[in-house]
Structure 1
């Protein structure tokens, strides 16, 4: 299948251009495209690429037996495979599936000091037990987290260029509604993206065939692979409990109150027995945790209740794959989301925010109907973000903006199936523009987004 352009491509080029570069560790869940991205980069920039996969080639787990110095490791690699070549300044050592041999992290310091070879490590479960890798290579590595395709990368895969993305951002910044043709095309593409998720293999198959044929089978196999990872890597924890939490995410998201309730996972389940399970899933990259804010005010960090949260999948394709057969077929054949409509859009927004580097927070006032889906922030203000599956008034959003009890909130953003608009300090934007929110907020902070000024409540 054809290679799909990724944002990681530019990140790797930046790393290569840095004369002081350190060994690079690329983390991320399985199947998000780490290996193919690194291989493509390596082929473009190096005369010799020495790739070692510690899962498929376990014999290489002995390469540190004579010490962690570059000379000792290169010598042992050559002993195992004499055909590998190591020209100084022209060689990349690519250690894949590093989680199977975290000892190699100790060698990163020595490769950096030696300076003759570039080193990239990656692995699908590096988040688990990463403390060991961190302590073994502190100060001598650079970390980069890779996730599945976001909607911008999906548009690239469909043949749209940066000029289209720039125009889309321009519409947001100037509050210019999209034309009917733009709304039809981008909304249709976005629904395709919601259905497929962002796993490169699934997206590539869809583009190659021009249909959804086979994509559900691929998504469901990925769910099975993730469940197998839980059984393999969740050492020292109750694997059955972790699997229970993972499997209950779609069910709980489909409920009106999307707060994840441990009591619903198993009879008599208590939060303290499951805290480690949620942390494990989050660290693995399989899920994103959205915490309930103690109060809607700045700062965001530390201002939340760690016992109240929602759980979303790191890739919405996993959510779609875990729907029942009837709902999944209805989604693909008839573009109907049914009872899962609100959950799917909320999930895709959570994923888009996380991929832009945002931590996830919501707010639910005790003994009240006041609830807000997400929050982002400008330089000085807290910005509530509402996800509307149906056309509505966004009552909670307007309450937060209008009330003097929330001085950090001056305006809000509502994401809907409709066009761009602004009224009563609420800026409305289509779902498909969610991936541009950080760029929009940055433009506002730089004084280049009159749309938010118009929606803003003046002091």
Structure 2
């Protein structure tokens, strides 16, 4: 079991109001939701009642009648003889709750009853309007929703056994803007490249830690990619006895498969004509939203101006698409890409790969993603609030200063007054430009 930051959020939920709201953990499949929830539950409760609605079809029947808490707990006790409902000392874990809409509706009566805490996990709870399966409604006002992402770089370092003193030293160097020692800097660059290739799926990380074999990692990632594509079809099933919407399924697959080529373009905004000759936004908006709601992609919107609030300057129909997990993105490229990354020889795709990993890092910090591009060619990779001030962030796979960066920093019409340039170089400060090694993106919060 790897150490995960989300456990702290679970603790905060329990302290601040576990009796009033159920905890609902959303996120991609296979990112460790169930294992993290069960680790927390077993450490904090005398009794844990675990129900997996994907594996146990009979459990769904318990929620088909009225949603009286006493009746539900009696039926669950009969179905699972080893569980015990101890008042004020029990947590009920509804795993894969998207498979049982009525169980989610039962959250309200459970919270109003107040005898038991409830934690739910779900991979597709953000999906709305894609199926017609009926339930008794979503318990508005009775859920504390937390979004879980794959492991971030710091969690990856923990998994590799890197000492906390090393991470504290890096934080100190970042705070003081002082260079990292050469030995540690080189080691961290190597670890970051490993993380870029491996990604943050816990099982893939565990296989890498066990074997140090990128061929094993690649195969595990291919399996995940195939499983996700299978899921595209499974979750578009409108009713249990009806066929899926094959037009939408085809569009979802075309959008997902096109991401590497979209990012490799010089102007890497998402272009519908790359999907089909007469591709139009209205034909693909649902497919893109579906992938986003699943947590599989990140959307980075262009801005009309570099000013706050960023959401207010967002251009809705001009955006880039990144893959949520960098390891999956690398696995979507030709086999052997990971070896090239580790050797530093990537050529044409290098900028796309490093942009994707920084987008991935920012997303795992809970950020919305924005960039800035004008028709004149002026372009900034990311625009974000860092430490309370608006900043532009440049991701440079090659050396050299950006003309666009200078233009923005020297123009009073733009609110950003600092640039963080992420590259393989060590920490350095030159006026309004702060150079940081890639691995320090985790500190830009």
Of 242, 248, 272, 2:252 maps to 242
What does residue 445 of structure 1 align with? none
TM normalised by structure 1 equals 0.90
Report deviation, 1:47.
Answer: 2.5
Whole-angstrom distance in 1 between the partners of 2:352 and 2:387 = 30
Q: Is the 8 A contact 1:64 1:72 kept in 2?
A: no
Structure 1 stretches lacking a partner, 5+ long: 439-459
Q: Is the 8 A contact 2:53 2:99 kept in 1?
A: yes
Whole-angstrom distance in 2 between the partners of 1:26 and 1:34 = 7
User: Structure 1 352/119 Cα, relative in aligned 2: closer, same or farther at 3 Å?
Assistant: same
What does residue 178 of structure 2 align with? 176
What does residue 186 of structure 1 align with? 188
User: Structure 1 355/134 Cα, relative in aligned 2: closer, same or farther at 3 Å?
Assistant: farther
Q: Secondary structure at the match of 1:427?
A: strand
**Larger deviation: 124-133 or 150-159?**
124-133
**Larger deviation: 75-84 or 420-429?**
75-84
What does residue 323 of structure 1 align with? 333
Report deviation, 1:321.
Answer: 1.0
Whole-angstrom distance in 2 between the partners of 1:87 and 1:100 = 26
What does residue 365 of structure 2 align with? 356
Whole-angstrom distance in 1 between the partners of 2:251 and 2:384 = 32
**Larger deviation: 159-168 or 133-142?**
133-142
1:165-192 C-alpha deviation (Å, 9 max, x unpaired):
2321211121101111111110010000
Q: Is the 8 A contact 2:46 2:90 kept in 1?
A: yes
User: Structure 1 156/265 Cα, relative in aligned 2: closer, same or farther at 3 Å?
Assistant: same
Of 287, 291, 309, 1:299 maps to 309
Corresponding position: 1:6 with 2:4: yes
**Larger deviation: 41-50 or 55-64?**
41-50
Of 14, 17, 27, 2:15 maps to 17
Whole-angstrom distance in 2 between the partners of 1:344 and 1:411 = 24
1:224-263 C-alpha deviation (Å, 9 max, x unpaired):
1111111111356511001100111112112222111111
Q: Secondary structure at the match of 2:310?
A: coil
Whole-angstrom distance in 2 between the partners of 1:378 and 1:351 = 16
**Larger deviation: 233-242 or 352-361?**
233-242
Report deviation, 1:113.
Answer: 1.7
Report deviation, 1:364.
Answer: 0.8
What does residue 416 of structure 1 align with? 423
Q: Secondary structure at the match of 1:362?
A: strand
Structure 2 stretches lacking a partner, 5+ long: 239-244
Whole-angstrom distance in 2 between the partners of 1:387 and 1:134 = 47
Whole-angstrom distance in 2 between the partners of 1:357 and 1:17 = 22
1:12-34 C-alpha deviation (Å, 9 max, x unpaired):
22223335542100000001100
User: Structure 1 93/340 Cα, relative in aligned 2: closer, same or farther at 3 Å?
Assistant: same
What does residue 437 of structure 1 align with? 444
What does residue 400 of structure 2 align with? 392
What does residue 268 of structure 1 align with? 278
What does residue 413 of structure 2 align with? 405
**Larger deviation: 144-153 or 271-280?**
271-280
What does residue 142 of structure 1 align with? 144
What does residue 242 of structure 2 align with? none
Whole-angstrom distance in 2 between the partners of 1:288 and 1:195 = 18
TM normalised by structure 2 equals 0.93
Whole-angstrom distance in 1 between the partners of 2:418 and 2:336 = 40
User: Structure 1 325/379 Cα, relative in aligned 2: closer, same or farther at 3 Å?
Assistant: closer
What does residue 451 of structure 1 align with? none
Alpha-carbon RMSD across the aligned residues, in angstroms, is 2.0
**Larger deviation: 65-74 or 157-166?**
157-166
Corresponding position: 1:377 with 2:385: yes
Of 280, 291, 296, 1:286 maps to 296
User: Structure 1 259/63 Cα, relative in aligned 2: closer, same or farther at 3 Å?
Assistant: same
Q: Is the 8 A contact 2:101 2:137 kept in 1?
A: no
Q: Is the 8 A contact 1:66 1:72 kept in 2?
A: no
Q: Secondary structure at the match of 2:436?
A: strand
Whole-angstrom distance in 1 between the partners of 2:98 and 2:399 = 46
What does residue 336 of structure 1 align with? 345
User: Structure 1 141/66 Cα, relative in aligned 2: closer, same or farther at 3 Å?
Assistant: same
1:65-108 C-alpha deviation (Å, 9 max, x unpaired):
33112112112212323332212122221111111112212111
Q: Is the 8 A contact 2:54 2:96 kept in 1?
A: yes
Q: Secondary structure at the match of 1:18?
A: helix
Q: Is the 8 A contact 1:398 1:426 kept in 2?
A: no
